[in-house]
Every structure is written in C-alpha cells, then in structure tokens.
Structure 1
Amino acid sequence: MTTHISLCFLFSYVTFLPLIFTTFAQSQNYIIHMNLSAMPKPLTNHHTWYQSTLSSALQNSQFTTTTNNLNSLISSKFIYTYTHVMNGFSANLSPKEHELLKTSPGYISSIPDLPVKLDTTYSPQFLGLNPNKGAWHDSNFGNDVIIGVIDTGVWPESDSFKDYGMTEVPSKWKGQCENSIHFNKSLCNKKLIGAKFFNRGLLAQNPNATLGLNSTRDTKGHGTHTSTTAAGSRVDKASFYGYANGTASGIASNSRVAMYKALWKNGASSSDVIAAIDAAISDGVDVLSLSLGLDDVPLYEEPVAIATFAAVEKGVVVATSAGNDGPVLKTLHNGTPWVITVAAGTTNRDFQGTLTLVNGNKIVGFSLYIGAFSSNNFPIVFMGLCDSVNDLKQVKSKIVVCEDKNGTSVYNQLYNLGVAQVFGAVLISNVTLTDILYKKFLASIIVNPINGEIIKDYIKSFNSKNSSSIASMSFKKTVFGTKQAPSVDSYSSRGPSKSCPYVLKPDITAPGTLILAAWPSNVLVSHLGTKEAFSSFNMISGTSMACPHVAGIAALLKGAHRDWSPAAIRSAIMTTSDIFDSTKEHIKDIDDNKDATPLALGAGHVNPNRALDPGLVYDVGVQDYVNLLCALNFTQQNITTITRSPFNDCSKPSLDLNYPSFIAFFNGGNSSKTLHEFHRTVTNVGEGKTIYTASITPIKGFSVSVIPNKLVFHEKNQKLSFKLRIEVERMAKLKEVAFGYLSWMDEKHVVRSPIVITTIKLKS
C-alpha cells in the first residue's frame, strides 16, 4: 500500500513537473493598461482593484486551479503598480493567463516588458537604433560625416568628445580649431574637428554686450548638449545625479563635430549667425544643426532662411528647431521650406520619486530632485494652494502637500516652497512639467489628482483622530516603458508657419523632453540650498534638444546614401515616420491628449531605420524653391537676398512645392476656394521594378482623390508624377484643422504624407 502511494505520488509529480516548467518557461512580464473609470465603486484603491483583476485571471487559468495558496501566487506574479504616468500594473504571466486577463473588465491593452539596456541619452534606443542592422550599421554610425552646430560653444574636455578608435579627419575638411580665451586649438581632435566663434555683429550693435567669455568655450551649456546629442562619443557610467544611469551616446557617434559659436550670454546677432553658417559651408560640413530661430520675420530677412539656402544648394542638410512657444497655433519659427523643421516629443522614460504613507501605500510621481535625501516617518500636512510663504514657513519641517487648482498656480507654489525652504513637498497637479519649470533643488514629487485624493484622504483620516499623519519620501528612480509614448510636448511650437504657410510645418517630431547629454563641468545645473550643483551631464528639454536628433539621423542617412540631396533626405525622414505610439493609437498632443495634428506633429515621429529605405522620395531643386519665392510675391530684390543671384527665373511661379506633405486653406485669408489641386513628382530610390498603389485616409467634409492611383516604376531613379485633389463636400461644417494621410504602398514600402485642411486665416 505504501509502495502504491509512493508510485502514485511519483507519477503525479512526473506528470505535473513538465507543466510547471512549461508554464514558467513561457511566462513573461507584461505592462497592463487599465481604465480607472471601470473600477468597481466599492473599491477605493486602484492597487486593490489591480490585484483583484489578476486574481480572477489566475483562478480561471488551468494551472492556478490546482494551486492552494492563491494569495502567494498573486504576490509572486504581481510586479508593480503604476500610479502616475499610466493607470495599470505589471505582472508575470503565462500566455494563457495573459489571454484571460484581456477579458477582464477595465482592461485596455498590454505590452511586453522587454529587457531594457540602460542608455543615458536613451534616444538612440527609443528610436530603435541597433549596431547590428539598420541606420547605425549601414552608415557605420555616421562615419566621417561632418555635423556643424551653430550654438553657444563647446566644452572640449567632455568625455563625449573623446576620439578613441576614430579614423583620420576626412581630407575634404577645410576648417580648423581657432585659439581663443581658455580654448587652445590643441583641445580639438578627430571627433571635435572645428571650433570658431562669431560675435562681431553683436558687439557692433552693443559694444558693452556681455559675452560670458570671448571664446568658443561654452559658458552656457546649450551648445555642448546639442552637439553631443547629435554626435557624442559613447560614454559609460554616465548619469545625472543617479537619474538615467548607463551609457551615453550621440545619434551619429562616429560623425565629426564642428562648433560655430554665434549665441552669447547677452543674445545673438543675425549677422553673426549668417557668418557662422557661411564658414560652415566653406569648411565642408555635411549637416547643420541649428537650435535657434526668429519669430514673425519674412524669409528674406530671416538669417536661417537666407544662410541655409546656400547651404542646401551646396548639398548640406539643415535641421532647425520649431521653437518653444506651443501649444498655440502659428507660433512656429523656422518655417523655411528648404530646411527640416523639428518639433519636440516625449520618450517612454520617466523619473520618479515615491511617497510612502505609514499605512504602506506607495504613491509614485514625477521627480528630478538631485540631492541626498533621507526621510523616515516625517509629519505630512496639506496646505491647499500653498500661496502664503509665511504659512509655509510655519510647517517647513514637514512634508508639505500643495494642490494646483487652475493649472498655473503650481509654478508659484514651486517658488513659494523654495523661499520657505520646506523639508519636502508633494504637488498635486495635471500640469506637464519639464525641467525648464521643475526645480531640481526642491525635494518634491508631482502626483496626479487621483493620487492626490488618496494623499488628502490619508491626511484627513489622521486629523479626525487628532493625531499626526506620517510619511516618507525617496528619489532617483528611472523607469522605462511606463507610459503612452511618444507624445508631442506642450511647449513645442505649432504651425502653420507665418513666413511660408503654404508648406506644411513642422516636418517631423523627435525626442526633446528630458534629454540627457554632455554639459560643461563648471556650468551650474541647479542649487541645493546655498550650494551650487554641477554635473558633466545634464537633462534639459526643448525643440533645441529635438533638432540635433534629426541632425544626427540626417548624418546617418548621408553616410549610407552619399548621393542623396538634402530634400531627398528630408523626404525619407518624413515619409517613413511613425504616427502611432506605444499603445498602437495615433500619437497624442500632450496639451489636450487628443490626436496630434500635423501642425504639431509634422509628418510623424522620426524612425531612422525605416528612413534608410524609403522607397520613394519627393526631391526638390533650387529652381523649385525660386518658383515658390516668386509665387509669394517677393520682389526680385527679396529673392536675390535669399538666392544670391540677380537672375531669378519667375516665369513659372508656384506655391505648389514638390513637398512630402500637403496643406490646403479653405475659406481663410484671401482664399475662397472649394477645390485645391496639388501636383507632385516622386523618385523611385528602391531597387528595380515596382508598383505603388495610393491609399487615402478619409477626411470628413472633403472628397480627396489622387490621379493616377497607381504608379508603375520600371527602374531605379525613375520619376513619376501624380495629382492630389481636395474638394469641399459640406462647407458649413468645416473644422479649424482636419487632417488625413496619403500613402503610396508597394510590397515593401509605405510612403506616407500628411494632408492638412484648415480654415485658419493666413493673416492675423
């Protein structure tokens, strides 16, 4: 009998063992997005709801029905509750458990929690760059492509400018590093191959202008940051005070950098910017990165437009920033038709602090506090709007909770909390704060209103008992893959361009929020009390940070396709971009959480690997740009200012530039049209014979058609033309901005162009 029992046990064990191993072998981590509004009313804690949801899925799975200790199993599978950037949780699930979870009430979506290799700038990884294939591999990381940067100077001692393993400087390079104050030309190397500065125009306007340092050396940090974002060498063990710890790398880490300092502490002169670009062209740069611009200036007076026309004519690709005046429409600068205008988006990397309540509840929010911090069982108090510095000083030794009621008071709260020198703070707000607004010196966490209510209820429960509520705080946590990304950030300027509204701008979106790159070691990054804080890397935000990403990608494409024109590279970047985020939904505008229109997003979010093989490109020649300038009713003098030629052929003026995007104005400005037609020519840069078929996203209120709807190519570099027609169906129901897409598709490629239809008036 005993033997029989043993044999039965052995049989059961042997039969069951493969099931256990198979289950765990197939299990993987998932990040699950949940609809918080679907949480049953009896539950007041979303963490409890998530656990209950997981429990139901496990109970219904074949394996878990044989498990006695369900609570223990839930504990082992439940990984993390997300409370700030998304509503949901992560768990380790078998395929069957995962499928069962999908049927749960409130389930929205899930994504695999793939292994993450820490990469400080992170943008290359977020953009899908891989050393073994794609744009990095095919261009050898942009090897020997020269990126010129017009900015605030450079910090040559940064490890991001090390030239270990780089080949000799290309013979085509005609530039040099110039000696200047605290900058010896010997500081340059095979990575940093040029350094010049330009301020004569500024000093001519204002002889007493404050320069910071009359030298190419960077005393602001901006130029060091942008240049290393575009082409910085790999640096191990980089971080910003423990945030984003890992390896830093520029987009085109084998490209060369030439710095042209034309931006100074007291401003910049257009003449200096033009001189800098002029020198860059003469020196032999392949790509220009300009994180600068002017607002409300006609093209013929705009230094970027004037100087970059010559650069593009010489084959130089120019990337420029869209500006940081969003989210209002028509705030974009650098609407220049011959450059790439770059908007700024977020990544799926987040920086967090945690507030732990004495009841064990952990509230996670956004934080970039850089100081050392030790908090254990400190009193926590709610102070409403925190609008009185005197009141805050009375509770400065506590963790102070503030609530933002109108979306703007949070900025004043940060100031008041800093003046009062509170021990720690929690700000309840829906406002999206970048590092531009967020004070890194303050030990604080920003939480959303849902979590804010949990904190307020917790404090109230203690107050009702006449006892002190207790909490602790911790910081410096970097989290990946925790949110809907990318999104267009609110500060990024929106189109249409005032200087040339007939060309849809911006062109493309790239990572611009909280980008980490090199920083001068003696330039402040923050304060900690009365102490100054310094770092060799810094995290900052803006379209200034997005621009060098695209400059780096242009360098990769230039390295892989030396014969492509600047317009072809721009087209490849635009038509292969992404319009869907990590949740497979259309990329959102973070300002209103609605689908981002091309006036904010451009053609989409840049995808460098797909840009390597776009299939078709929309190329543009110099005369095409001249035809556009003529159609803008510029005088010959105006046009000559840009083209540098006194003989500009205006026999065929046309606002219809051969651009990979479309914008039609209806019932706005001087236009009362009910029909718009666009003519385009595409070049087959793919291999051999192919047939492309057109697909158009319907746009409500309009009939959009393409003639012909099929393009048959017989050979590489063949050009074919088509016509796009937009006709109003119901004029009375037109939106201010409506949009869709034209996609040309063959068996391998999708060549997509945005279509914007707007009633925005051309003149305010």
Structure 2
Amino acid sequence: MGFAKTLSSFTLLFIGYTLVNGSTPKFTLDSHPDSESVISANHEILASVTGSLSEAKAAALNHYSKSFQGFSAMITPEQANQLSEYNSVVSVFESKMNKLYTTHSWNFLGLETVYKSNHISLDTASDVIVGVIDSGIWPESESFTDHGLGPVPKKFKGECVTGDNFTLANCNKEIVLSEEPWLWFVIGPLLQASLFGIANGTARGGAPSARLAIYKVCWFGFCSDADILSAMDDAIHDGVDILSLSLGPDLPHPIYFDEAISIGAFHSFQKGVLVSAGAGNSFFQGSSLNPIRMEQSYGLIYGNSAAATGVSATNASFWKNNILDPTLIMGKTVICTIENFISEDRREKALTIMQGGGVGMILIDHNAKDFGFQFVVPTTLIGLDAAEELQAYINIEKIYPTITVLGTKPAPDVATFSSMGPNIITPDIIKASLLIAAIIKSHYPHWGPAAIKSAIMTTVIGRDPNGTQTTPFDYGSGHVNPVASLNPGLVYKFNSHDVLNFLCINGASPEQLKNLTAALTQCQKPLTASYNFNYPSIGVSNLNSSLSVYRTVTYYGQGPTLYHASVENPSGVNVKVTPEELKFSKTGEKITFRIDFFPFKNSNGNFVFGALIWNNGIQSVRSPIALNAIYLMLIASLPVSLLGLHLKRMHLYHFCLQNK
C-alpha cells in the first residue's frame, strides 16, 4: 500500500511567458496578455508537472492576470520545486494562513469635526473607492444604502460578482463591487445602530460617502495568501484608491519578498494605491491603544451574590444561563469566574450578563488575561492575584454606584499583548498608524500613498493622557489626528525607486527583488543609506559615531511661510538641524535639510527616542526619532561572548524567516 501525496497551496508568479507548440513553457518579457490567455497558459504550465490538463485544471485555485501574472494551485512540494526551475519564474512560495485583526472607533478619533472644520462636502469623498479585503459584509444592512450618492466613478472597472445569498441587487452606488460578501464592514454612510442592544448610537465610516469594493478572502477567521494576492490583483485593476486589510500573519513574520501582502502592497504602491494593513499583536509585547472612555462608574456584584432562586452560589459564580437573578445585576458590573478555561465560551458569559441588564463584566481567568476577546459588554480579564486584591477591597469597602475613583491610570492604555517595535527586518523604519487615508484622499485626490502616509504620521498626537511621551515602538508615530492630517503643511514623499534602494541597501538580492517586483530588477549604484530613505520618521539602528541624515519636504499651504525647527533630543545624543529655518514661497516647493546626530553616551543596546518638529505658527510637523547609540570604542570593550550571542540571535531569526 502506498502513501498519499501531501498537497499544499503554492503561489507561483511570472515575469511573462509564451507557449510554443504546447512544449515546455518558454518565457519572454511580453506585455500581459488577456486573462483567458493567461488562464489557458497557466493550465498548460501546471500540466507539465501534474501530468495532464484535467489534473492541472483541478489543482488550480487562483489566476493572477491583471496587475501581475501567475497562479496558485494545490500541488506537492516536489512539483513546486520543479516549477521553480523554469527560467523566468519569479517566485514559488507556499500559501500560508493569515488571521483577521480588529477595527477601530471613529468617535474616539474626533471625526465628528473633520468635515465641519474643514468645510468638506460629502460629495467630495464620493469618488474615493476603498477596497476592503477581509471576511465580507452583510449587504442587507442599512449601512450600505446609496441614498444621495451619484453615479459610480468611471475610473472603476470592477463588476458585481454574485454568490450564495448575494445577487446583483445587493450591489449599488455604495457597494460598487463585491466578491462573495458575507459579514459586515462599515466605511461610509451613517446608520442608527445597536450591537445586541448595547451602545445605541450612530455607526458610521470615516469617509461618509466613500464607495466600497468588497473582496472576501477570509472564512472562519482565516485568510490564505493565495486569496489575498488574488484580491489585491483584482483591486488594483478595478481602480480602488485605498486598500484596507485588517489581517496578517502569525509569527515568525515572513520577509517582504515571500509574503503575499508585501508583494501585493508593492504593486499597489506602484499604481498609486495606498495599502493599510494590520500590524498584528504577535511580536514584542507592548503598547496598543485601548480607546475606552470612562465617563460613569457602576456598582460591583459577585456572581455568587446574584444567584437565582434554587441555584447554588458556587454555580452562580461561574455565571451560566438561567442561574442569575436579573433584578440583582441590573446596572451593575458582574464579577464571575471561568470554570473550564479550555471549553468554556467567555463571550457567552458577557452575553448572559447583557441579557440580564448588567453593564460590564470582570472575568477571573488567569489563563486568558493576556488575550483579546470581543465582548458585548465592557469586560476586564484578571488573574488570581488581582482577584484576591479585588476581594479584599470589596470586603472592607462599601461600593457606591456613583463613586469616582481618583489616581487611576487613565485611558487610552496599552494592551499587554499588543506588538511593539522595532521591526527586526528593517529597524530603521518606524511604522505608521493608518486609519484616516480615505478622508485625506478625498481632500487631496491627486496625492499618492507616500504623501497620504506622511500627512497621517506627521500630525499625530505623540503623548499619553498624562502628558508623558510615548515611544515610537509603542504605537508608531502616535495617535492619529484626522483634523490636523487634512492640513499637514509639509509632506515627505518617496517613490518605488526609493523603496527598491531601501531594500537593496538592506541586502536584498536580485532574486528577492524579482520576487517582489515581478521584473528583472538590479540594485542601482550608488546606493543611498537606509536612514536617508525619505520617510516621515528617522531611525538609525547602529549609531556608532556622529552621523548626518537628510530629508526633503514638499510644502502644501496657502501663500509664503516660514518654518522653524525644534528638536526633542534623544537621551545621550545631541542633535543639530541645518538649516534651522525653511522658507517657502509657493505650494509644491521642495527643500532638503540635514539632521546631524552627535552621540555622547552609550544606549546599552536600547533605542533612545526624540523628535524633530517643524512649526510655522499654524502647522506642527512632527517626525519621531529612534536611535541605537553605540560607541565603537565601547563596543570593542564588550566581552566577545556577548557580541557573538547578539550576532547569533540575529542570524537565527533571519534563518527562520527565510525557511518558513
């Protein structure tokens, strides 16, 4: 009896190809043919390793023919290796699974005032098309009404795709395209809404009349690389302005050249499409915002004190259906305990509390206190030690429903499980927080991805509620400020050539560049240092002596203006900006400046942080600074064993990434 072959989903990308008399595929750099020709050629190429055309058609999953060429298929690793030997195959990589991330609150970001303070008509945003790549939508929702919207922009090439419980009637001037939508997502219009009767209010999107193009790639919370790349290929061709992907991989994060989102994002960037993708919560433990406003206090009650008639206190403490007395929990925050941390549904407990009239839950669960769950009532998970402290407090204090507790740590706070920087692959780049792209695109329709990203990053709020400076590795440049981002003043721009230079200086090989770009790409000499990449942040991962960094800004404002530089010096480093003033006479004018760093203290392997601020009395343009200051003379004095350990760790990390 033989063994069954193990099949996996592999994605294969080409530069270009032709077939000669049905023989072994020969590749050329021809322009992209039509989709039917690509699909036919894909099947013939696949048949060269599967053995027959019928098997090839059965194995094929996705065909990429618009923004780049290729396909994904269920084949064996041996067949994948055989395909990789073809002379102009760009890359062959196994399709991995990604997970869905979360969404955010528009109210917390202050979007109420964006359209009022900037006098933006809702019609202004109506030509912005947001491509949403996730688990789909409920098209029946009133959120997707097209009332008041004009015709679909002519630039959009997509078509409505029907599916189970989804007809052409579900597409309208708001949902301009949908590929098998299934779950909900809100971007544009307004809707009076309530989630399970909780938090009654207005559910709305960030750009009130932006159009939606929905691409369903996730089922049961998981999303494959092959489907994501297919959706991005379609979206770029369809003419979306912005792509939103609230999803991403688990650790170890693949390097940029073998990962679907990065490959799709690069092609999107080349076409002027901004990609906003989730950073995830699976890296260094750190500091992602928890935007909960505590405007009212509520009484506490233990579950065992709210048992229904005939129910034991022990059973009530585990807080299950039909064991609680609604009259005792009405308007209170309920304390309950997990009985079986593996099989028990924590969300069901919250639903039971909500149905009984409770307003919140404190769940004693030491196994899950560092995990994120979606609850229908505000919920805090605590461990056993915290539970004992809470019990001691309850035993000695009377809890009043309207008490105000002072001296507590204010929100927004940071979830312990949220990932933080730096990114080990490219530590010189401080990542952006991207939530407001559609609004900026509607205000500046001709801006590209780099300008939009710059406007978001340089206008953020960089301090926590106590006024303490947070670090860029906690949550990027800072907390987004939608109102300020519409009037950034100065913008840092870069293009795809700058991106390729950045990858080259960080050691990308021609083969890796080919994987990313789907073209025969060579590094162009001389290369520019990675810290001179014209990004809105400044990062130097190895500052071992004085160093000069250069940036170029473009002015977008009304009339002549003068910007003055100020610096928040990183600890142990002196900073000088030349020139200290930037004088602009008209919009669109560019000026290059230099930032000199003079380290005088070793940072002991830790990054130190500061900021460069340009201010003209109206706009404040802030760029975070992150430096790892290491004196060469101090490095020489370190034990060789420590240096060897550091280098070994970095080598192993990259080895894991390249051999996923």
TM range (shorter): 0.5 to 0.7
Change (3 A) 1:138 1:599: farther
Q: Which residue of 1 aligns with 2:580?
A: 709
- In structure 2, C-alpha distance between the alignment counterparts of 1:347 and 1:282, rounded to whole Å: 36
Matched, 1:569 2:513: no
Which residue of structure 1 lines up, in the alignment, with residue 624 of structure 2?
Answer: 754
- CA positional deviation for 1:722: 1.3
Residue 728 in 1 paired to residue 594 in 2? no
Corresponding residue for residue 620 of structure 1: 494
Is 1:142–1:253's contact at 8 Å kept on the other side of the alignment?
A: yes
What is the match of residue 525 of structure 2?
A: 651
Q: In the TM superposition, what whole-angstrom CA distance separates every residue of 1:104-151 from its partner, at most 9, and x where no partner exists? A: xxxxxxxxxxxxxxxx98523542432652457266472220000111
Give the counterpart of 1:246 among 189, 198, 201.
Answer: 201
8 Å CA contact 1:380, 1:401 repeated in 2: no
Q: Following the alignment from structure 2 to structure 1, what is the Cα–Cα distance between the partners of residues 122 and 583?
A: 30
CA shift for structure 1 position 602: 0.8
Match for 1:260: what amino acid?
A: Y
The change in CA–CA distance for 1:755 and 1:377 in structure 2 (over 3 A counts) is farther
- Number of the residue aligned with 1:282: 237
**Aligned: 1:675 with 2:546:** yes
Residue aligning to 1:698: 569
Q: Which residue of 2 aligns with 1:201?
A: none
C-alpha distance in structure 2 between counterparts of 1:739 and 1:471, whole Å: 43
Q: Equivalent of 1:152, from 120, 126, 135?
A: 135
Consecutive unaligned residues in structure 2, runs of 5 or more: 1-102, 403-407, 631-645, 654-660
**Aligned residue for 2:536?**
660
Does the alignment pair 1:558 with 2:441? yes
For residues 266 and 453 of structure 1, what CA distance do their matches in structure 2 show? 36
Q: What is the CA deviation profile of residues 418-443 of structure 1, one whole-angstrom value per residue up to 9, with x for unaligned ones?
A: 89x99998557999969933765999
Shift of 1:382: 9.8
Q: Does the 8 A contact of 2:578 with 2:593 survive in 1?
A: yes
Q: Match of 2:36?
A: none
Counterpart CA distance in 2 for 1:417 and 1:133 is: 38
1:633 deviates by: 1.9
Name the structure 1 match of 2:263: 306
Specify the alignment match of 2:64 in structure 1: none
Q: How does 1:26-65 map to 2 (within 5 A)?
A: none
Does 2:461 correspond to 1:578?
yes
Residues 638, 694 of structure 1: alpha-carbon distance in 2 compared, 3 angstrom cutoff: same
Q: 2:275 aligns with which of 303, 310, 318?
A: 318
**Identical amino acids, percent of aligned pairs:** 31
Q: Which residue of 1 aligns with 2:93?
A: none
The one-letter code sitting in structure 1 at the alignment partner of 2:191 is V
1:359-374 alignment, distance < 5 Å: none
Seen in structure 2, the aligned counterparts of structure 1 residues 449 and 177 have a Cα distance that, compared at 3 Å, is same
**Native 8 Å contact 2:430 2:477 kept in 1:** no
Which one of the candidate residues 607, 631, 641 is aligned to 2:481?
607
Which residue is 2:637 aligned to? none
> Which letter does structure 1 place at the counterpart of 2:241?
D
Contact 1:145–1:255 (CA<8 Å) still a contact in 2?
yes
1:380-430 Cα offsets, whole Å, 9 max, x none, are 9799xx9xx8x999x9999999799xxx999689879989x9999855799
Q: Residue 235 in 1 paired to residue 191 in 2? A: yes
Q: Secondary structure at the match of 1:143?
A: helix
Give the partner amino acid of 2:474. A
Aligned length: 509
Q: TM-score, normalised by structure 1?
A: 0.58
Partner SS state of residue 345, structure 1: strand
Structure 2 counterpart of 1:663, one-letter code = G
**In 2 relative to 1, CA 660–432 (structure 1 residues): closer, same or farther, beyond 3 Å?**
farther
- SS of 1:571's partner is helix
Report how far residue 678 of structure 1 moved.
1.8
Q: 1:162 to 1:446 in 2, by over 3 A?
A: farther
> Which residue matches 1:168?
151
Sort the Cα spacing of 1:314 and 1:427 in 2 relative to 1 into closer, same or farther, 3 A. Answer: closer
- Corresponding residue of 1:262: 217
Q: 1:296 aligns with which of 253, 259, 278?
A: 253
Deviations 1:491-549 (CA, angstroms, capped at 9, x unpaired) = 332122233222122x12xxxxxxxxxxxxxxxxxxxxxxxxxxxxxxxxxxxxxx6xx
Decide whether aligned partners of structure 1 residues 351 and 435 sit closer, same or farther in structure 2, where only a CA change above 3 A counts.
Answer: farther
1:737 and 2:607 matched: yes
Q: State the 1:266 CA deviation.
A: 7.7
Amino acid across the alignment from 2:451? A
Q: Is the 8 A contact 1:182 1:217 kept in 2?
A: no
How well do the aligned residues superpose, as a CA RMSD in angstroms? 4.6
Cα 1:344–1:264 shift into 2, 3 Å? same
1:683–1:256 Cα change, 3 Å: same
Summarize the alignment of residues 81-160 of structure 1 with structure 2, pairs less than 5 Å apart: 123-124=106-107, 126-130=109-113, 133-134=116-117, 137=120, 140=123, 142-160=125-143
Number of the residue aligned with 1:206:
none
Does the residue aligned with 2:126 lie in a helix, a strand or coil? Answer: coil
Q: Which secondary structure state, in structure 2, belongs to the residue aligned with residue 653 of structure 1?
A: coil
Task: Give the 3-state SS of the residue equivalent to 1:182 in structure 2.
Answer: coil
Which sits farther off after the overlay, 137-146 or 245-254? 137-146
Paired residue type of 1:349: R
- Measured after TM superposition, the shift of residue 554 of structure 1 is 1.0
Cα 1:263–1:447 change in 2 (3 A) is closer
Q: Are the equivalent residues in 2 in contact too, given 1:129–1:136 (CA < 8 A)?
A: no
1:497 equivalent in alignment to 2:423: yes
- Aligned partner of 1:325: which letter? S
Looking at structure 2, the residues matched to 434 and 139 of structure 1 have their Cα atoms a distance apart, in angstroms, of 41
Q: Classify 1:722/1:183 alpha carbon distance in 2 versus 1 (closer, same or farther; 3 Å).
A: same
Structure 1 residues 429 and 619: alpha-carbon distance in aligned structure 2, compared to 1, 3 A threshold:
same
- Cα shift at 1:455: 5.2
User: 5+ residue gaps in structure 1?
Assistant: 1-119, 197-215, 330-342, 358-362, 368-372, 462-469, 475-481, 509-546, 587-594, 667-671
- After superposition, give the CA deviation of every residue in 1:679-734 in whole Å (9 maximum; x if it has no partner): 11111111222221111112221122222222122221111111222232122x54
CA distance in 2, matches of 1:639, 1:163: 43
- Tell me the equivalent position of 1:76: none
- The whole-number CA distance in structure 2 between the counterparts of 1:629 and 1:381 is 62
Aligned partners of 1:504 and 1:662 also within 8 Å: yes
Deviations 1:445-474 (A, max 9, x none): 97999997575465579xxxxxxxx99999
Cα distance in 2, alignment partners of residues 195 and 417 from structure 1: 30
Which structure 2 residues correspond to residues 160-559 of structure 1 after superposition, within 5 A?
A: 160-196=143-179, 216-218=180-182, 221=183, 224=184, 227-228=185-186, 231-236=187-192, 238-265=193-220, 267-294=222-249, 295-325=252-282, 327-328=284-285, 344-350=288-294, 354-355=298-299, 427=363, 436-437=372-373, 456=392, 459=395, 484-505=410-431, 507-508=432-433, 550=435, 553-559=436-442
Q: Which residue of 1 aligns with 2:98?
A: none
Structure 1 distance, partners of 2:374, 2:552, is: 47
TM-score with structure 2 length normalisation? 0.66
SS at match of 1:722: strand
